[in-house]
Amino acid sequence: MSTSRTMALSYLDEVKLLRSPRRDPWRWAALVAAVVLYLWIPTYFGDPGLRIMAMCGIFAIGAIGLNLLTGYTGQISLGHAFFVGVGAYTAAYFGGERGWPLPAYLALATLIGFTVGAVIGPFALRLRGNYLVVVTLGLVFLGEHLWNNWDSVTGGGNGISLSQAPMTLGPLDFKEGIELGGEAYTFEQSFFWLTWALVAVTALLAVNLTRSRPGRAMQAIRDRDLSAEVIGVNLARYKVGAFAWSSAYAALAGSLYGLLQQYVSPGEFSLFLAINYVAMIIIGGLGTIVGSILGAVFVWGGRSVIEQNSSIGLFDRLITNGVGEPGWFTIGEANAILFGLAIVLFLLFEPRGLAALWFRVKTWFLTWPFSY
Amino acid sequence: MSFVAAITGDDLWQTGFSGVAVGCKYALIALGFSIIFKATGVINFAQASLVLLGSYLTFNFAHTWELNFYLALLMAMAAGALIGVVIEALVLRHMVGEQPATVIMATIGILFVLDNLTTAVWGPDNHNLGDPWGIRTRDVFGVTVADRDLWTIAFTAAVLAGFFAFFRFSTLGLAMRAAALDPEAAMAQGIPARRVYRAAWAIAGLVAALAGATLAAGATQLSPATGSLALIAFPAIILGGLDSPLGAAIGGVIIGLVQQFTALLAPEYFDWVGESFERVSPYLVMIVILLIRPYGLFGTKEVRRA
């Protein structure tokens, strides 16, 4: 590896996400691999697997949002599930009940998420650390109460269906499965493509946000808010802004979640979901966009893999699949224990998450045969 | 005024008492939170699973092993203290000085592991705790009072007095206060930080077992949901101020009263708030109080220097 290839010779070079393939071969290789995977996965895997992977993508969008707030701005929130719920119910009401078109209700859900985040954000200005954690946790409980009782919009405890929600985008009908080049695809295949395209767009947005002035302000606040204020960062503006953007991401994830499930009910936006999101960004890597995606895939994908393989090999001996079947744990218990262990082990041994693991592997190859 | 007649003065007294009784249970849980916070500066989510585990251990000793209940309770408290020490040694010791977010998440991880190990061992069914109080009640000035509520109130008062004496008169208590105030300065003065943290976890485990037993006693029965009751104590600790044991106790009682009175009055006077509003009213009260006093009623305001 020669240094001239990595050196930026002008400011324009510096801000480019992708330089020429000759200058930046690794990033190009990763990009090509991602595009190939994106096109190939839906043609190879079956519908149940694609459903899980689409869900991973949905979680990835939400996790990127939470990482903007927690990883980049340093505001810990256990209330992410509330904003996910806001998005899901907005999509369900305007898409499912009112029959708005797909882009309209997705955009509205995102916008309402943004607005609600901006309204709640100012609370965070007065509260810090532990107090903020518990107040955002309270938000989840208040939200659950709202979903359960605002019958005219949320359908109360019964929930609300999205089966009537239109899912067409121009000539593409995602619900019936899209048709491309004379080939008809299933709902799961189409939805995988839709979700991961949105992951790409939202990730790019987030990367650019964090590379620009607001992103630098957010990171200054995270590192030390008092110093940030002293050097002229407007705390109120950027803290509230981070809340609003993170909620917008959560709401988008929520509306996609509703579309995939075709149904939304109050119990889904619980403290457990909120904890899942925090676990995803910790396991993936705080303060990295790619880490949010890795964490979402790891947590949701891992759980699904165990659920599907509970009667194979070692799992079978540990997990009971029914009354009277040998085993110590139910699937739910086994998954929750592994989930908890994963959080603790990552915090103890790789606090910077999967992203750092990836970075370390990359550095090893780049600097070979020298260790750094 | 016909709508007023539905609630009598007796109802108010009765609700007031049950509010205090429920509040004392929250206070016991909250005291466990506050001692960890006082020593280490983080909210310990795993406290909820220590409460659950403590109640199941009491059940195990009292019901399965058929020991005397009070002996069983003492053994459960000792076991709780031991488990607290083990958790501290395995995980939390390695996280001293980390960001609060990191440590909080670690305790959430422990919560998942312990909770599910507990249900894996004892199963999902409801059990009678095996306590001698059962559903016995007595009449005090026209208010029906359950025996177990009286015991809960007595336990809370005893623990609170114990905490006060500990922080005021014992060397370890003083060391804990110093370590909480400024860990580095405390260590420079020769205060054994490790022993302080270990002691805090032991006390937290002990109080958690006691709280678990009072939560699951009598008609409530023991079930895996006992642990989630501990989460209702969050508004209590925040309300009182995280680092104040007295605040935790008062916060607990306030939350208990708020909850019981919401349950009594909401269906009658403001039913537009929806069903079982008492489950969320503590959080509303908490948010309002925090907006006025960001460090709770009795919490120490953080001094921040650049």
CATH number, domain containing residue B44 = 1.10.3470
- Please name the residues in contact with B303: beta carbons below 8 A apart, sequence gap of 6 or more: none
Look at residue B126 and tell me whether its pLDDT is greater than 60: yes
Q: B-contacting residues of A 110-129, CB under 8 Å?
A: 123, 126-129
A17 or B135, higher pLDDT: A17
* Pairwise pLDDT comparison (B234 vs A14), residue with the higher score: B234
Rounded distance between C-alpha atoms, residue A90 and residue A252, angstroms: 10
The range of the structural domain enclosing residue B94 comes to 9-292
The predicted pLDDT at position A345 comes to: 93
pLDDT-based confidence at B69, cuts 50/70/90? confident
Domain count, chain B: 1
Evaluate whether residue B297 is within a structural domain.
Answer: no
3-state secondary structure of A184: strand
Quick one: average pLDDT of B50-57?
92
Report the C-alpha gap between A109 and B77 in whole angstroms.
50
pLDDT computed for residue A3 by the predictor: 45
**Residue B299 covered by a domain:** no
Tell me the β-bridge partners of B138.
B145
Q: Which residue of B has its CA nearest to A280?
A: B105
Give domain status of residue B3, yes or no: no
Q: According to the model, what pLDDT value does residue A313 have?
A: 67
Give the minimum alpha-carbon distance from B238 to chain A in angstroms, rounded to a whole number.
Answer: 7
pLDDT of A79-94, one tens digit each? 999 999 999 999 999 9
Cβ–Cβ gap A149/B302 under 8 Å: no
DSSP tag of A288: -
DSSP β-bridge partners for residue A184: A179
**Chain B contact for A351 (CB, 8 A cutoff):** yes
Tens-place pLDDT, residues B152-178? 889 999 999 999 899 889 998 888 888
Residues of B in contact with A126 (CB under 8 A): 290-291, 294
Task: State whether B302 and A133 contact (CB < 8 Å).
Answer: no
Q: Report the C-alpha gap between B42 and B50 in whole angstroms.
A: 16
Domains of chain A: which residue ranges?
44-306, 309-372
A residues 63-82 closer than 8 Å to B (CB): 70, 74, 76
Mean pLDDT, chain B, as a whole number?
Answer: 84
Determine contact, residues A194/A259, Cβ cutoff 8 Å.
no
Rounded average pLDDT over B103-108: 90
pTM: 0.90
Q: Does the pLDDT at position B1 exceed 60?
A: no
A134/B contact by beta carbon, under 8 A:
yes
Please name the helix (run of DSSP H) or strand (run of DSSP E) that holds residue A294, with its range, or none.
helix A289-296
User: CA of A51, closest CA in chain B: separation in Å?
Assistant: 26
More confident residue, B253 or A358: B253
User: Are the beta carbons of B287 and A138 separated by less than 8 Å?
Assistant: yes
The pLDDT value given to residue A322 = 63
- Give the highest mean pLDDT range of A131-135, B15-19, B75-79: B75-79
* pLDDT tens digits for range A226-248: 899 999 999 999 999 999 999 99
Of A137, A141, A337, the CB nearest to B117: A337
> CA of A147: how far to CAs of A134, A142, A155, A156, B273, in Å?
20, 9, 8, 6, 12
Mean pLDDT by runs of 10 across the 372 residues of chain A is 57 77 81 92 90 96 96 91 96 91 94 95 80 88 91 86 84 80 85 94 95 93 90 92 96 95 91 92 92 94 84 69 68 86 91 86 80 62
pLDDT at B275 over 90: no
- pLDDT for the residue numbered A326: 64
Task: Please report, for residues A77, B26, B196, B245, B296, the alpha-carbon distance to residue B161 in angstroms, rounded to integers and kept in the order given.
Answer: 35, 16, 20, 10, 21
Element (H, E) at A210: helix A187-211
- Domain A44-306: give its CATH code: 1.10.3470
State which residue of chain A sits closest to B44, comparing Cα positions: A130
